Structure 1
Amino acid sequence: MLAPNISELVLTLVDPPVLRFQSGQAMAVTIPASFSEIPTRRYYSLVSPQSSARQICLLFDQGEQGVGSQFLRCQPVGAELILEGPFGTFGLQENFERDLLFVATGTGIAPIRSMIATLLENAIPRCITLLWGLRRECDVYYLDEFEAWASHYPQFSFVLTLTQAEAQWTGSRGRVTQVLEEMPHLEQFTAYVCGGRKMVKDVTALLYERGVVQVYRERHHDVL
C-alpha cells in the first residue's frame, strides 16, 4: 500500500495489448456476478502517463466499503480483470497559453498525476504548480516522486497541505482553499481541479472570483 488504505493497481494489458488514452481519463473495472448480486462496473482514474500504453496503473481506496474496493482488495497478484474504457472528458487541453495549476484532494490526485507526468515527459514550456490536500502525514504518498520532479524539472513546483497535521509537521497546513487564498496572480493560470464535491465547488468559485478564466474539473467520491 502507498498509505493506509491507498493502493495502486498495476495491470499489464493482454487483449488488446495496448491502450490509447488521454491523461485524466478513467477505466471501468467489471465486478462479476460471482462477487456482487449482478455484474456491475466501477470507475477508476488512470494514474499512468499517456506513454504507458502496455501497462497501466489505477489508484483505489481500500478503506471504502463499496463493492469495487471490496472486489479489488480480494484480487491476488496475477489475477485477470475485465476492463472497459477509457472513459471521460477530464483531460489536458491542447492549448497551453497559460501556466498550469493543478488542485487535488485525496485520491483526486490520480488523474492529476497522470496529466503532470505527461506534461513533463513532453517538455511543455509552461510552469506547472500542484496543490494537493490530505488529512494527516500518515496519509501522504507520492511525496518522493513529486520532490524528484521538482528537483529535475525547474518548471514544476508543488505544495502539500494537511488539514489535521501533527505538531511536528513543517509543511503547509489547512485546506486547499486556504492555501489558494494566499497565492498571488492566480489569473495567470489555467486550472485543473479534482477531488470531493464540496472542494471542487469551493475551489472553482474561488478561482473564478480571482480571475481564472479556464477551470476544468472532475468530482470524485466525497470520501477520499
Structure 2
Amino acid sequence: MPHTSASVSERRSIRWPPAPASEPTDTLVLSGATGVFVDVRFLKDAPGEGVLDWAFAGVKEELRDGGVRFVHHIDSRTLDARSVVDAGYNTPLPDGDTLEVGEMVNPATGRVAPYEEVWRERPTGSGGVLFVANAARTTWRARVGAWEVALGRGEDGGFWAWYAEWIDGAGNGGGGLGWRVPRCAGVREGRAGVVLLPLADGRWVNGARVSWQGEEWDVLEVSE
C-alpha cells in the first residue's frame, strides 16, 4: 500500500495456501515515504530475546498493475539479495488491516510459492524519521517516531538485527521514559551492543554522507 508518510507495520499472520494462517514470528517493518524499508522477523517461540527468522532492507517499487515489488538490497538468507523474488498486491480489510497477496520463496520448500500476509499499522509515536545505510551497504538503520530497527552483516558473514521501542517505564529502575529492546539477535554482548541512531541535526539531510560511529553513512530519508 503506498504511503505519503513513513509508517510502522506488524505482521498479524502468514498463510501458504492451502495451509491455514499462522504467525510464527514477531515481525516489524519500518517504511519511508520514499519507498525505503527495513524488515525484521524473529521466531516467537525461540529461547532468549531473539532468534532471527529473516531480515532484509531495500526499496519498494510500485508496479503498473497496482502491485508492489520489494527490491532487497541486503538479505539475511542470501548474499545475492537482488535475486530475491518478493512482490505482492494489497487490499484493505474491513477491520483496518491490510491483506497482502503475492509470491516469494517459502523457506520450508526453498521454492517460490503464493502467500497471504495480514498487516496492521502501529502508531508511529512522536519523533522524526531517519533511514540510513553505511557506504558499504552492509548495515541499514531506521527510526520512525518511537520505533527503531537495525540490521546488517558483519565482517565474519554473520547477520544481526534488533528493534527497539520508546515506551514509558523503560528507563533506569523501571521508571521514566526510555528505549526497550524486545528482540535482538547476533549483536555482540546482546543488548549492550545495540547502538541507537542519534537525533538528526543539520548534517543529516536527504542525500548527505555523514561520519558517525567510525563509518560513513548515506542518508536515504529524513524528516521531522
Indicate whether the TM-score tops 0.5. Answer: no
Q: If the length of structure 1 is used for normalisation, what is the TM-score?
A: 0.33
- More helix per residue: 1
Q: If the length of structure 2 is used for normalisation, what is the TM-score?
A: 0.33
- More strand per residue: 2
